[in-house]
Amino acid sequence: MGWQTGPVNETKSRPATAEKTPRAGRAGATRDVILATAERLFAEHGVFAVSNRQISEAAGQGNNTAVGYHFGTKTDLVRAIVQRHTGQIEQVRARMLAELDADPDVRDWLNCLIRPQAEHLAEIGPPTWFARFGAQVMTDPGLRQIMIEESLSSPSLQQIVDGLKLSLPALPPAVRRERGEMARLLMVHLLAEQERGLAEGTPVARPAWDEMATGLIDALVGLWSAPVTG
């Protein structure tokens, strides 16, 4: 029989297999470009002031539906940006937790809470956009929940939050809630302002991220240990 079974089947199968890897690589590269572009635009202008079309154009995508194709809704895109950073920050947190003394105090827990993000931003920038992106997201009640969900899904962060609660001085519940909100605002917006200053070349009190983290930790220790009056 004149069939060329072996060679013909090999010729047909090889292109289909070989085609998958470059195509997957191109899709991954496109996603990375869109994520980086969206993070920058959201950080500069706010999440809802930026359209998917603007992100696609700034990312150099000829198809204006590229953002929706790769990520779905804007909420999905925000979540993907958060996840783009949390894995690396989680590794630093886990390392710091492993190095804690047997009886950590408030400062020890705050070190584990703040320094991982500062270290991450120092490693990838400047310029960086994630702190300002986070500040924009945290001003929106709907999107803020994404940051909270992604953060508290981290085992190391949950351990830090629990440890910090146990080590805080005894405070009336209302005062504890108030100071918790103050601490959150200070962390989110001071990190964002530090990032903005470094990106724009404007003066900042402490140019190094590590030094800035030290100042922030000092302030938060003072906040939590301040006397309660009235």
Q: What is the pLDDT of residues 6-19, one digit of tens each?
A: 443 444 444 444 44
Rounded distance between C-alpha atoms, residue 144 and residue 90, angstroms: 19
| 16 contacts: CB under 8 Å, gap ≥ 6 | none
**In 66-201, which ranges are continuous DSSP H helix?**
66-71, 74-98, 106-124, 130-138, 141-152, 155-167, 173-200
| 81 contacts: CB under 8 Å, gap ≥ 6 | 35, 38, 39, 42, 130, 133
Task: Answer left, alpha or beta for residue 60, where phi above 0 means left and psi between -120 and 50 means alpha.
Answer: left
**pLDDT band for position 230 (50/70/90)?**
confident
Question: Which pTM was predicted?
Answer: 0.85
Rounded distance between C-alpha atoms, residue 147 and residue 153, angstroms: 10
Which range of 4-13, 136-145, 205-214 scores highest in mean pLDDT? It is: 205-214
Among candidate residues 185, 34, 193, 198, the one with its CA nearest the CA of residue 122: 198
State yes or no: cis peptide before 127, omega within 30 of 0: yes
Rounded to an integer, what is the distance from CA 22 to the centroid of its chain?
A: 29
Residue with tokens 């999440």: 47
Among candidate residues 138, 153, 176, the one with its CA nearest the CA of residue 93: 153
CA distances from 190 to 12, 15, 47, 213 (A): 59, 53, 19, 10
Buried b (16+ CB within 10 A) or exposed e, 70-89: bbeebeebbbbbbeebbeeb
On whether the CB atoms of residues 206 and 134 are closer than 8 A, the answer is: no
On whether the CB atoms of residues 92 and 73 are closer than 8 A, the answer is: no
Q: Give me the pLDDT at residue 23, please.
A: 60
Average pLDDT over the chain reads 88
Q: Give me the pLDDT at residue 10, please.
A: 40
Q: How confident is the model over 70-114, as pLDDT tens digits?
A: 999 999 999 999 999 999 999 999 999 999 999 999 999 999 999
Residue with tokens 């089947």: 9
DSSP SS3 for 151: helix
Task: Please state the rounded mean pLDDT for residues 173-189.
Answer: 95
